[in-house]
Amino acid sequence: MAAQPESDTAKVDGVRLSAVASGVRYADRLDLVLIEIPKNASVAGVFTQNAFCAAPVQIARQHLRVNTPRYFLINTGNANAGTGEAGLLDALRCCQSMADIACVKPEQILPFSTGVIGEPLPVDPILLGIPCAFSGLKEGSWFDAATGIMTTDTQPKLASKTVEISGREVAISGIAKGAGMIKPNMATMLAFVFTDLGIDQSDLNGLLQESVSQSFNRITVDGDTSTNDACMLVATGKLDNYSTFEDAERATFQQALTDVCRELAMAIIKDAEGGTKFVTVRVENGLDQQECLAVAYTIAESPLVKTALYAADPNWGRILAAVGRAGVKDFDLSALTIYLGDVCLVAAGELAPDYTEARGQAQMDEDEINISIDLGRGSHAETVWTSDLSLDYVRINADYRT
């Protein structure tokens, strides 16, 4: 996916951004991003559920509880994860330095890190980079910020939408990063979304959680959950201040927010490490959400399904074997239907009579693949998005030190 030009990302009044090359890990690479949030904005966040959450995640979560944030300080090249007490102190030093320069409290800085796990954070280059990042803050620098948070990403990831609420054009704009170690659990590997609407803190949390559950929490590259995942939503209130939404307005905003989050999540899958296919797995008519997700993720994370996708092999036996081991209780196979694109593979639990290898092959030759499973036993549905498992995925991860 080509990144959107700067002008396509809707301006969110009061949000200023900058990115500098501080040399955390590589020279001449944008690796320190600063985002300024206006006073009185409300901020919501969801963070990784990994028990080993990184030092910056612990601090960001704590700071978010005690004060309204004014700055997000994000470095790449080092995750500051698995670094113990020293890692916490390093992250706090960065917050303190930023707070001094901006004349705010250290608790108003939320730190985020991404990169190699288990090495001490190089604090000095970050401290040297902060004044430069501060003086470079500018409204509209979305592309630089999206570029500055990349690690193994090959493309900056931006998404933006305007939506009319009570006759006013409301902007929602966001950036994200992520390409591997992707199975977010309540959050993804760094996403930052902004709106110029004012929204109550309590309401903001619910809105974010709902949109994340339908976007970042429905993608998987390799089933591996990062120690540093976070997704933040900022409502600046520069446009209008909504203490409470009306139902219809809330639904409109929720949908637009989900659209932006989903576009960012899709950009992560399209940039999946070594990925050559964009794969949508939809499971319909399950008894409950849990069983739909179990079937969808079993398919989406099966190495055998993923290598068949890479080979463009319409190897439906592997899809069927994955469905069969997903743990569906009292599975009545005679109600099962499986589609590859618009080609029926399995009907009533058996190979569809009109299926031909040529029809399956035509679907598998596409860059975007749709796998649909109809369990025929309930009314729930879930969709997850994934990539294939290629030689390049192995090459990248045998070379790169997470």
Binding interface with a second copy (CB under 8 A): 49-53, 79, 81-85, 116-118, 180-181, 183, 185, 222-227, 301-304, 307-308, 310-311, 313, 315-318, 320-325, 328, 331, 333, 346, 349-351, 389-391, 393-395, 397-399, 401-402
Residue tagged active-site, from 76, 147, 152, 188: 188
Q: Which is nearer to a second copy, 195 or 302 (CB)?
A: 302
The minimum distance between CB 148 and a second copy, in angstroms, equals 22
Q: Which is nearer to a second copy, 247 or 399 (CB)?
A: 399
Give the sign of the dihedral formed by CA 220, CA 155, CA 314, CA 306: negative
Q: Which is nearer to a second copy, 64 or 321 (CB)?
A: 321
The minimum distance between CB 402 and a second copy, in angstroms, equals 5
The minimum distance between CB 140 and a second copy, in angstroms, equals 35
Q: Which is nearer to a second copy, 247 or 330 (CB)?
A: 330
CA 316 – CA 155 distance, rounded (Å): 32
Tokens of 335: 């109600």
User: Quick one: 155 exposed, middle or buried, by C-beta within 10 A (0-12, 13-18, 19+)?
Assistant: middle
The minimum distance between CB 336 and a second copy, in angstroms, equals 9
Give the sign of the dihedral formed by CA 142, CA 43, CA 119, CA 132: positive
The minimum distance between CB 163 and a second copy, in angstroms, equals 35
CA 114 – CA 214 distance, rounded (Å): 24
Tokens of 132: 């430069």
Q: Residue 374: which of 258, 256, 309, 281 has the closest Cα?
A: 281
CA 299 – CA 320 distance, rounded (Å): 9
The minimum distance between CB 109 and a second copy, in angstroms, equals 24
Active site residue 188: yes
Q: Is there a contact between 16 and 8 (Cβ–Cβ < 8 Å)? A: no
Q: Which is nearer to a second copy, 253 or 339 (CB)?
A: 339
The minimum distance between CB 25 and a second copy, in angstroms, equals 14
Q: Which is nearer to a second copy, 102 or 311 (CB)?
A: 311
Number of residues that this document lists for the chain: 402
The minimum distance between CB 212 and a second copy, in angstroms, equals 17
Q: Which is nearer to a second copy, 235 or 322 (CB)?
A: 322
CA 300 – CA 279 distance, rounded (Å): 8
Q: Which is nearer to a second copy, 252 or 402 (CB)?
A: 402
Residues marked active site are found at 188
